[in-house]
Amino acid sequence: MWDTVILDPMVNSLLWIYDFLGHNFGLAIIVFTALIRLVTLPLTLQQQRSTQKMQELQGSKAWQDMQKKYKDDKQKLQQEQLKLYQEVGFNPLSGCLPTVIQLPIIFGLYGAVIRALATTPVQLLELSKHIYDFIPSSIIPLNSQFLYMNLGQPERLYLPFLPNIGIPVLTVLVVISTYFQNKLMTPPSADAQGAQMTKVMALYMPLLLGYFAYTLASGLALYFVASNLLAIVQYAATGKVDFKKLLSFGGTTPQKPKR
Amino acid sequence: MALRSLRPSWVALGLLALVTLLLAGCSGAAMTPSSWPGVSADSTTAYVASNQAVYAVDLATGAERWRFPAQPDRAVVLFATPTSTDDGLVILGDFNRVVYALKASDGSVVWRFDKAKDRYIGGAAMAGDLVLVPCADHTLYALQRASGALVWSFKTKAPLWAAPLVDGEVIYLPAQDHNLYALEARTGKLIWSQDLGGALSDTPVIAGGRLLAGTFGQGLAAVDIRAGKPVFTVPTDGWVWGSPVTDEAAAYFGDLAGTARAVSLKDGSTLWTYQPGASVVASPALGDGVVYFASSGGLVQARATSDGASKWQVTLAGPTNTDPLLTGDVLLVGVSASPDVLLAALDPATGATRWTFAPAK
């Protein structure tokens, strides 16, 4: 079911793009990531709208007063928050739903890159079972060379004057771009707990993806970088991006209530 | 109501945890090198390379003689078919870019070669005092048999997953860049190359002055051994991974679409076919009037070479993508993904199990 509905169409789209682009797998990953971002744009926009609405709500005086009033009674606080959500017609899960819908796509994309690279016999045997008839078998194996990288191997750059030290350039780019994406696109939280969580996630995600980029095939790291940069570009296109945020360190601070 | 009372930030954190778990799971799978066992044998011992060790197994009893490395070592990942030499070495490359030459008597390391840039998937071949090792870094390495020192190397345009065929002073090298290369054994100098239209992942065979090689997408190709020009092709529904085995009249092979067949050596015309019910990755083994096919479904079948009539069949405990090997009086079959059997020794006449081997923990 997973293979038929998600993974197979993605793998074959990726292979078709690879063939169309003259057998450049790195370019195919970037174009494929851009197409996926385009297809999921309505979901992304809905998520951004929901986040903004939540942010406005949490910045309101009514919300802040409620936090103070019921700070010792969590249950009552929850009830009042729900009441406020209903009054303003806001569904707190509306921001999560697009993310839930996008999860299979994220995993599918990840799986498609791994499956298409097929660097071991078992992976290649598995790939052979999932290629559609219109994909020419002459494209197998994929040319995994992109710039100086072998996309099937973890990336390291060896400079002529440092022949024994591999510099993980793509890993650094993944960490930086993930940090920037989080920094630019995560709104400030109204309460201390939310701000703390935002801070943890802002550090956790770059390190996690950086670890994957360092240890796994560089094709995945390329996907991470492309995906992060395209997300930032998409967000910037909505006119909401504030590049000054990049200069503030230590996470976002709780915002002041609006009167 | 309970769901609605969840704070969005907690939902986000939960999703993030889920993403982490799933990505970590996927990454684990991605990092685990995966292939099927590599199996070979000399007159007394079978060698089976699977994951973190190569095991020397007594051919008569199935008892383990030694293993390398003696203790589990995460830096060693072995799947390439071990190659035993007439001067008492067992040579094989690993997924972590090292070629090992081991003493066949006790598994101790004689030399190692670690200059490659990618994994070794195919087995080695011997050409006089040279060891020829194909590597996924697109390179065929020719090493001194005695020391492992590099003598020459030959670069192709895609990974090399199969041992070359050595015929006197000429090496025939199958490559995933779709080419079959003919090289001078002493120098590695190119004699000819021929694009066969699909990746080549197994060692070609010689039959009647022709080289026969399976391809991904273009069936079985027959190439004139001197000129390197295609003579005929046998179209197939699926990729041909394993090379054929041949007798005087026919070539026997299977494809990934799940057809096993015999074709005429003269013109490639089909003599008989049957469907074993799963992909055929492995090259078959040839006995006296019998051809043994193993398929991904774990089915091992003996068929009469004359008409394909079934002699016997057995189903083993896991996929059998390793080439079955007829040696002495047993048919050795490597089994993947089974905790109970890694190597099975079958009676070639009946298919009855003589012994099975699974490494002790």
Residues of B in contact with A189 (CB under 8 A): 9
- Tell me the per-residue pLDDT of A21-51, one tens digit each, with 9 for 90 and over: 999 999 999 999 999 889 888 888 887 787 7
How confident is residue A130, by pLDDT bands cut at 50, 70 and 90? very high
CA–CA gap between residue A169 and residue A187 (Å, rounded): 29
Average pLDDT, integer, range B43-50: 96
Average pLDDT, integer, range B265-277: 96
- Of chain B, the percentage scoring pLDDT greater than 70 comes to 91
Q: What is the ipTM of this complex?
A: 0.90
pLDDT on residue B28: 43
- Tell me the per-residue pLDDT of A100-123, one tens digit each, with 9 for 90 and over: 766 777 778 778 888 898 889 999
pLDDT on residue A65: 85
* Residue A56: inside a domain: yes
Residue B230 main-chain phi, psi, to 5 deg: -65, 140
Residues of A in contact with B22 (CB under 8 A): 107
Average pLDDT, integer, range A172-198: 79
Give the closest-approach CA distance of A122 to chain B in angstroms: 5
* Residue A22: inside a domain: yes
Instruction: Report B:262-281 residues touching A (Cβ under 8 A).
Output: 279, 281
Instruction: Report B:52-111 residues touching A (Cβ under 8 A).
Output: 79
Of A3-17, A177-191, B198-212, B301-315, where does mean pLDDT reach its minimum?
A177-191
- Check if the beta carbon of residue B114 is closer than 8 Å to that of residue B100: no
Domains of chain B and any CATH numbers: 164-246 (2.40.128.630), 276-361 (2.40.128.630)
Q: Which residue has the higher pLDDT, B58 or A209?
A: B58
Closest partner residue to A216 (CB to CB) among B30, B34, B199 is B30
Residues of B in contact with A136 (CB under 8 A): 217
Inspect the interface and report whether the beta carbons of B239 and A128 lie closer than 8 Å. Answer: yes
How confident is residue A248, by pLDDT bands cut at 50, 70 and 90? low
Q: Which residue has the higher pLDDT, A90 or B73?
A: B73
pLDDT on residue B3: 43
Inspect the interface and report whether the beta carbons of B12 and A111 lie closer than 8 Å. Answer: no
Q: Is the dihedral of CA A145, A149, A151, A152 positive or negative?
A: positive
Q: What residues contact B261, with CB distance under 8 A and at least 6 apart?
A: B234, B236, B252, B253, B254, B270, B271, B272, B273, B274
Cis bond upstream, residue B134 (ω within 30): no
Whether the predicted pLDDT of A167 surpasses 60: yes
How confident is residue B145, by pLDDT bands cut at 50, 70 and 90? very high
pLDDT on residue A259: 45
Mutate to test the interface with B, among A124, A196, A211 (most CBs of B within 10 A): A124
Mutate to test the interface with A, among B6, B15, B21, B27 (most CBs of A within 10 A): B27
Residues of A in contact with B12 (CB under 8 A): 96, 99, 201
Give the closest-approach CA distance of A246 to chain B in angstroms: 22
pLDDT on residue B82: 97
Give the closest-approach CA distance of A233 to chain B in angstroms: 22
Q: What is the pTM of this model?
A: 0.84
pLDDT on residue B5: 46
Whether the predicted pLDDT of B11 surpasses 70: no
Q: What residues contact B220, with CB distance under 8 A and at least 6 apart?
A: B212, B213, B214, B233, B234, B236, B240, B244, B251, B253, B263, B268
Closest partner residue to A121 (CB to CB) among B22, B27, B35 is B35
How many other CB atoms are found less than 10 A from the CB of residue B258?
18
Residues of A in contact with B36 (CB under 8 A): 121-122
Name the CA dihedral angle for B340, B343, B346, B348, rounded to a multiple of 10 degrees: 150
- Check if the beta carbon of residue A61 is closer than 8 Å to that of residue A67: no
Average pLDDT, integer, range B153-167: 97
Strand partners, B181: B173, B193
Residue B84 token pair: 């035993």
pLDDT on residue A41: 86
Residues of B in contact with A128 (CB under 8 A): 216, 238-239, 256, 279
Residue B17 main-chain phi, psi, to 5 deg: -60, -40
Residue A247 token pair: 């200069």
pLDDT on residue A256: 52
pLDDT on residue B27: 45
Q: What residues contact A223, with CB distance under 8 A and at least 6 apart?
A: A29, A33, A109, A110, A113
Of A201-205, B94-98, B148-152, B201-205, where does mean pLDDT reach its minimum?
A201-205
* Residue A230: inside a domain: yes
Q: What is the DSSP string of B196-216?
A: -SS---S--EEETTEEEEE-S
Q: Which residue has the higher pLDDT, A62 or B308?
A: B308
* Residue A257: inside a domain: no
pLDDT on residue A78: 85
Residue B270 main-chain phi, psi, to 5 deg: -75, 135
* Residue A256: inside a domain: no
Residue A19 token pair: 């063939």
pLDDT on residue A238: 80
Whether the predicted pLDDT of B34 surpasses 70: yes
* Residue A181: inside a domain: yes
Residues of A in contact with B30 (CB under 8 A): 114, 216-217, 220
Inspect the interface and report whether the beta carbons of A128 and B5 lie closer than 8 Å. Answer: no
Contacts 24+ apart (CB under 8 A), B216-221: B216/A128, B216/A137, B216/A140, B216/B240, B216/B241, B217/A136, B217/A137, B217/A138, B217/A140, B218/A137, B218/A138, B219/B255, B220/B244, B220/B251, B220/B253, B220/B263, B220/B268, B221/B180, B221/B196, B221/B197
Place of tokens 């003589």: B354
Question: Mean pLDDT in chain B?
Answer: 92
Q: Given CB atoms, is B239 within the 8 Å cutoff of chain A? A: yes
How confident is residue B30, by pLDDT bands cut at 50, 70 and 90? very low
Q: Given CB atoms, is B3 within the 8 Å cutoff of chain A? A: yes
- Of chain A, the percentage scoring pLDDT greater than 70 comes to 88
Inspect the interface and report whether the beta carbons of A123 and B136 lie closer than 8 Å. Answer: no
Q: How many domains does chain A have?
A: 1
- Tell me the per-residue pLDDT of B91-107, one tens digit each, with 9 for 90 and over: 999 999 999 999 999 99
**What residue in B sits closest to A113 (Cα-Cα)?**
B30
Instruction: Report B:332-351 residues touching A (Cβ under 8 A).
Output: none
Of A64-73, B181-190, B334-343, where does mean pLDDT reach its minimum?
A64-73
Give the residue from A175, A199, A88, A201 showing the smallest Cα distance to B12: A201
- For chains A and B, count residue pairs whose Cβ atoms are closer than 8 Å: 112
Give the closest-approach CA distance of B65 to chain A in angstroms: 28
- Check if the beta carbon of residue B59 is closer than 8 Å to that of residue B45: yes
Residue B125 token pair: 């071949």
* Residue A259: inside a domain: no
Range of the domain at A92: 2-247
Average pLDDT, integer, range B269-285: 97
* Residue A253: inside a domain: no
